[in-house]
Amino acid sequence: KENAPRRNVYREFYDETCRLIREQNGKDIEIEEHNGSVSNFSKVLTTILSIIEDEQRKGLCDIYVNISAGSPEYSAAAAIASMMHENVLPFSVNTKEYSISSEEDIRDAYYIDDRPVGLTVSTYDPRAMPKYHIEKPLEHLVRGLRILHELNESKSKSKSSNIVPLLKNEGLWFRDDTDNNRKQSDAVNFHRDFVTRWLEEGWVVKDDLRKRYVLTEEGLNIISTFYT
């Protein structure tokens, strides 16, 4: 109606998102609303952690966290919170098509007095974010894992007698080589120092058919991210 009060634009976006979720998943799906500052990193992190922990206590469902929907503070907090809990799967969604695409529309929306400004006209002073220490994976485990993967990819045998010399050549072997029964000792220590740790981290699984350890998706992510 012409004289009807205008609704809050953010509420309209929220309501439309809820409508799309119900359209895809059925009207009976439960949607919980959490209100709070999305520009305060600590508060956002607290809220996300609380939501995750509440859902885990229910034990009813898998937890997926969209880290690409929201403010930069939300995205950072969502990623960190997801990595603090097991069985929480962070994901992102890239834009396929924009509502504003033509050069003329971009200039109308993001230019002021023929100057490219974007959505932000002015900013507050920079504000330091709190730091949370996240351990990098141990270098010798990652580099050793990469050697295992390269052996598998080259169709070479990845048994201990093949991989241990490569670990030693790369300076990744920290055991004393003076043992008289070194061959047997190397096999035991390789399994203890590397394979057991890889299994604990979820980086490899045993392929009983081919009698070798192969990298999981997480293991592949590790070797493509760290110590490259």
- Reported as a single tens digit per residue, the pLDDT across 144-165 is 999 999 999 998 887 888 999 9
In a domain, 176, yes or no: yes
In a domain, 61, yes or no: yes
Query: Residue 183 pLDDT more than 70?
Result: no
What digits encode the pLDDT tens for the residues 91-129? 999 999 999 889 999 999 999 999 999 989 999 999 888
| Total of domains in the chain | 2
The whole-angstrom separation of Cα 52 and Cα 142 is 29
More confident residue, 22 or 7: 22
pLDDT at 143: 98
Domain of 151 in residue numbering reads as 139-225
In a domain, 67, yes or no: yes
Using DSSP's 3-state secondary structure scheme, residue 202 falls into coil
Q: Count of CB atoms within 10 A of residue 54's CB?
A: 10
Type of residue found at 80 = I
84 and 158 in a single domain? The answer is no
In a domain, 127, yes or no: no
DSSP one-letter string for 166-195: HHHHTT---S-TT-TTHHHHHHHHHIIIII
Length, in residues, of the chain: 228
Query: Residue 5 pLDDT more than 60?
Result: no
Average pLDDT score, the chain: 90
In a domain, 110, yes or no: no
In a domain, 27, yes or no: yes
What digits encode the pLDDT tens for the residues 28-44? 999 999 988 889 999 99
148 and 216 in a single domain? The answer is yes
88 and 159 in a single domain? The answer is no
> Which of residues 69, 98, 127 is at a domain's end?
98
In a domain, 133, yes or no: no
> Which of residues 67, 83, 98 is at a domain's end?
98
In a domain, 111, yes or no: no
The whole-angstrom separation of Cα 113 and Cα 123 is 19
For residue 135, the 8-state DSSP code is P
pLDDT at 31: 92
Helix (H) / strand (E) containing 160: helix 160-169
* Proportion of the chain above pLDDT 70, given as a percent: 94
The whole-angstrom separation of Cα 150 and Cα 131 is 36
Query: Residue 1 pLDDT more than 60?
Result: no
> Which of residues 66, 98, 130 is at a domain's end?
98
> pTM, whole model, 2 decimals?
0.75
* Proportion of the chain above pLDDT 90, given as a percent: 68
Q: Domain containing 144 — which CATH number?
A: 1.10.10
Query: Residue 4 pLDDT more than 60?
Result: no
